[in-house]
Structure 1
Amino acid sequence: MVNLQDPRVLRTRQLIMESFRELLRSRGFESISVKDIAQKATINRATFYTHYEDKYALLEETIEQAFRGMIPEDVANAKEFTGEVCDQLILLTYRYIVDFYKICRMDSKSIAKIVDDKIKHLLQQTIENIFLKGNIHQMEVNHHLKIISAMTGSAIYGAAHCWLKDGEMDRADFLVNVVHSYVMNGIGLHLK
């Protein structure tokens, strides 16, 4: 196991990730091999495998790091799921999807499922963490927070994904308005 606090380890992992991102921009995920990533990062394959199990593990970490990096500090530290927090999550999810699908040439259904599942999970975790920091002390409500978070994250992700697929990329404000009402009304019903 590598020491993730070691500056050399951090530099190597960053180099691997940057090389991987560059390769994703220029070709499809399926055509990228560990050998390609290692060559681009100017490391050997053994070094790659010291840090990552395979290119799928690297993909998952890349997705997570990029998504978490897009979450504004006020959303990450929010103690209540407000309308403003909802709007920011809708926009950041949409922007993330656009970046990944357009910039990284998401032309494979198998990678699309990995990306979709990971983003949904991260969005659900983010929403659940906000709920848990809030003043929700009712046992019944706490028991259902995971389900409410999953539904809320799925609604946001599903709408943003649909918006991208329908080619409405220049109308993110309309997406926010539609999803905001749906999500906030749904949360209001469940957290009473």
Structure 2
Amino acid sequence: MLTQTIDPRVKRTRQLLMQAFVELLEKKKNVSSITVQDITANATVNRSTFYAHFEDKFAFLESWMREKFQEKLKDELPNGTLSDMGSLRSLILIVFDFLFCTRPYMTLADRQYEPLFQVAMQKELYDLLLTWLSEQSEPSVSRESVETAALIASWGIFGAAVEWSRHPQLKSAEDMAREVLVIVAAGLAPVIG
């Protein structure tokens, strides 16, 4: 995960907008019913402030999803990094849990935002896996192979989590994560030995 130095005023304003959105989400219970006007009114800032920080509602939502997912990773993954197959298993469960917890806020009207959220989360997974695989890969493995392994693993984990989150009553997260880990580990074996 890339960390950047951000002006504290920018950070505060973004946090204010994010908090306003979360409060509205708790009240309205879905993403599509919340407008930029709702967010700015709840945050007590004007619309131009919103647009100074985000291109549009889609950019805001992508940033919100990415930040929430990063927070969950930092809270639940030791040091916010991967170190072994045990931490990879933890990562898989984190993704499953995150999608399970966010699914209630996604209504049929919110389907337009799903691809946006998917790309944001998959990118975070990819970055995390790429960092780990780059450190763990055999010296003979090319950078392209490491990148491909991270790409396939990130989409595999994320895709399985999305499908499971749609019908979590069919199989426990633990059982599903165990199955995903076996497949992902097998796919990563040529890269990390």
Is this a same-fold pair by TM over 0.5? yes
1:38 maps to 40
**Aligned: 1:74 with 2:78:** yes
Say if 2:65 and 2:117, in contact at 8 Å, map to a contact too: yes
Q: Deviations over 1:70-126 (max 9, x none)?
A: 114536344x4x221211111110111112212x23432210111112111211111
- Of 108, 126, 129, the residue aligned with 2:128 is 126
Verify: 1:174 aligned to 2:175, yes or no: yes
Which of 85, 88, 91 is matched with 1:86 structurally?
88
1:4 corresponds in structure 2 to 6
Unaligned runs of 5+ in 1: none
Aligned residues: 185
Q: Say whether the 8 Å CA contact 1:141–1:191 is kept in structure 2.
A: no
Query: Could you give the per-residue CA deviations for residues 121-170 of structure 1, whole angstroms, max 9, x where no partner exists?
Result: 211111011112235322x4322111101111111111111111123387
Pairing 1:43-62 to 2, within 5 Å after superposition: 43-62=45-64
Structure 1 pair 86–143 and aligned structure 2 pair: CA distance change class (3 A): same
Report the TM-score, using the length of structure 2 for normalisation.
Answer: 0.85
Partner of 2:16: 15
Instruction: From the superposition, tell whether residues 93 and 169 of structure 1 become closer, same or farther in structure 2 (CA, over 3 Å).
Output: farther
Are the aligned partners of 1:91 and 1:176 in contact in 2 as well (CA < 8 Å)?
yes
> What RMSD in Å do the two structures reach over aligned CA positions?
2.1
Superposed displacement of residue 190, structure 1: 4.5
- Shift, 1:43, TM fit: 1.0
- 1:61 offset after TM fit, Å? 1.0
Residue pairs, 1:113-152, within 5 angstroms: 113-134=115-136, 136-138=138-140, 140-152=141-153
**Cα contact 2:17–2:43 (8 A) shared by 1:** yes
Task: Give distance in 2, aligned partners of 1:67 and 1:88.
Answer: 14
Find the residue that maps to 1:66 and give its secondary structure.
Answer: helix
User: Quick one: distance in 2 between partners of 1:95 and 1:68?
Assistant: 13
Q: Give 1:185 shift.
A: 1.6
Question: Normalising to structure 1: TM-score of the pair?
Answer: 0.86
Alpha-carbon distance between aligned partners in 2 of 1:40 and 1:175, rounded to the nearest angstrom:
39
What SS does structure 2 have at the residue aligned with 1:53?
A: coil
5+ unaligned residues in a row in structure 2: which ranges? none
- Is the contact made by 1:76 and 1:130 (CA closer than 8 Å) also made in structure 2? no
Identity between Structure 1 and Structure 2 (%): 24
